[in-house]
Amino acid sequence: MDEYLDAAEDDMKAAVDHLGRELLKVRTGRATPKLLDSVVVEVQSYGASMPLNQLATIQAADARLLTVTPWDKSTISDIERGIIAAGLGLNPSNDGQIVRVPVPALTADRRSQLVRTVKQLGEDAKVAIRHVRREYNDTFRDAQKDGDISEDDLHRYLGRIQDLTDAYVKRSDDAVDAKEQEVLEV
């Protein structure tokens, strides 16, 4: 049964890790290379679609500017089109060597919209964590019905699952609060 507890913890950890990856995609007023992680570039000369990070080096030149340095200079216009097509609200420009992507400041409306998105992502993570709790609680109850564990063991395991749930819900809340502060920071 301890293996089930370990598996439950792994599943809850996976939900919080997924939340962390999703929160990295939420744009703040600050330039970060992670902002362009979702950009896929249709490269004409290669005849294929590729993630931007496989075509170029992405750096934050300062708090409001990203620079994209392609390894193959012939892909510069494709990279520019890919960034525009990604729908991130960014306007790239190039000088023949690098692509500069200014990150505009967020409006108050956009900040409140992003805060709602962050809270929704946090709520989705908590639902996933609770789903894991329900799944493993059912597993332990079935084991008790089948006579594999005693009623006292059942209550002990259910308590440990609840403790795990509380800990991972708190982690998700902390991650959401931190991202919310980052979004609201001017």
Q: Domain boundary residue among 70, 102, 134?
A: 102
Q: Which of 102, 130, 158 is the last residue of a domain?
A: 102
Residue-wise pLDDT tens digits, 30-54: 778 888 888 889 888 788 888 988 8
Q: What is the CATH number of the domain that holds 146?
A: 1.10.132.20
Examine the domain organization and report whether 111 and 155 are in the same domain: yes
On whether both 19 and 68 belong to a single domain, the answer is no
Distance CA 78, CA 27 (A): 23
Check which CATH number belongs to the domain holding 83 and give it.
3.30.1360.40
Number of domains in the chain: 2
> Inter-axis angle of helices 151-184 and 108-145, to 10 degrees?
170
Based on the fold, state whether residues 180 and 128 are members of the same structural domain.
Answer: yes
Q: Are residues 40 and 130 in the same domain?
A: no
Last residue of a domain, one of 102, 117, 136: 102
**142 shares a domain with 114:** yes
Residues 119 and 164 in one domain: yes
pLDDT attached to residue 116: 93
Q: What angle do CA 121, 123, 125 make, to 5 degrees?
A: 70
Give 168 or 75, the one with higher predicted confidence.
168
Same domain, 18 and 39: no
Banded pLDDT at 19 (limits 50, 70, 90):
very high
What is the reported pLDDT for 31? 79
Domain that residue 118 falls in: 2-25+107-184
Query: Are 97 and 111 within one domain?
Result: no
In DSSP terms, 40 is beta-bridged to: 51
pLDDT tens-digit map of 50-108: 898 888 999 988 888 899 999 988 889 899 989 888 877 788 998 888 999 998 877 88
The tens digit of pLDDT for each residue in 111-163 reads 888 899 999 999 999 999 999 999 999 999 999 999 898 999 999 999 999 99
Total-model pTM: 0.73
In this prediction, residue 85 carries a pLDDT of 87
